[in-house]
Amino acid sequence: MNDEHSEKMKIHVYPDPVLRARAEPVLDIDGDTQTLIDGMIRTMYAAPGIGLASNQVGNLTRVIVFDRHPGEDDRSPFVLINPEIVDGEGKIVREEACLSVVDFSAEVSRMAQVSVKGFDREGKPVSIDAEGLLAICLQHEIDHLNGTLYIDHISSLKRALYKKKLKKRQKES
* pTM listed for this prediction: 0.93
* Residue-wise pLDDT tens digits, 15-63: 999 999 999 999 999 999 999 999 999 999 999 999 999 999 999 999 9
Architecture of domain 3-172: Alpha-Beta Complex (3.90)
> pLDDT tens digit string along 55-88?
999 999 999 999 998 777 788 999 999 999 999 9
Distance of CA 136 to the CA centre of its chain: 10
149 phi, psi to nearest 5 deg: -110, 155
Percent of the chain exceeding pLDDT 70 equals: 97
Average pLDDT, the chain: 94
Query: Of 64, 55, 51, which Cα lies nearest the Cα of 22?
Result: 55
Number of residues in the chain: 173
Residues 6+ apart with CB under 8 A from 45: 75, 77
Residue 5 pLDDT more than 70?
Answer: no
Residues labelled catalytic: 141
